[in-house]
Chain A
């Protein structure tokens, strides 16, 4: 079983819909929780990150982390066709003095239709 589980989709929604994406994980050492967006044939780009549990909002995007349930979510409000991409959750712990590798989910492919 993978450390991070994510439904690969695809997920198709109409423009303007609220999108909910989520991941579960098993490693309780994870401290940082990220959402990356990846367009076709491009590298991942960071959307949001959260340290430990809690919510974070940035424009149309809201990230939630529930460490007690080992469950993270990304909500996209008023979805746009330009939001069509693969959304990857990623997690890491941290070690003092070194950077830490990211552990990714499979990615959920999102299609926002007109």
Chain B
């Protein structure tokens, strides 16, 4: 079945270049998360969308990072003027609904990630 897809799978950028990473969530999933996973580390939260609304962007490391989800489905994470410390795997995850409750944890379904290398 169709899961979360991300493109490109691998991206090499020269320092200072702008990059755009795409996430296609599972069809109909309301909530979408972006995470950054540095080598040998666990994923770290970047930002969260519920439909087209960006409800939390507290994890974005600098104003060079920008995310959007204009029609509430596909999302793009853009990094301007890339730096070497931006090298990481960028993971996207989606959830069917925006609600969570005590007995109904909503599993986050992860895509395969985009591996960004900044030279």
Contacts and interface: CB of A to CB of B under 8 A. Distances in A.
Bound pair: A and B? Answer: yes
Contacts of A103: 45
A106 B112 contact: no
Given A99-B95, A101-B45, A44 B110 contact: yes
B98 A99 contact: yes
Interface in A42-100: 42-46, 49, 51, 88, 90, 92, 94-100
A102 B31 contact: no
B110 A104 contact: no
Contacts of B110: 43-45
Interface string B71-111: 00000000000000000000101010111111101111011
A48 to B, nearest CB: 11
B56 interface: yes
Contacts, number: 81
Contacts of A101: 33, 45, 48, 56, 59
Contacts of B50: 98-99
Interface of B: 4, 31, 33, 35, 40-45, 48, 50, 55-56, 59, 91, 93, 95, 97-103, 105-108, 110-113, 115
Given A42-B113, A43-B4, 6 more contacts: A51-B103, A96-B99, A99-B50, A99-B97, A102-B33, A107-B42
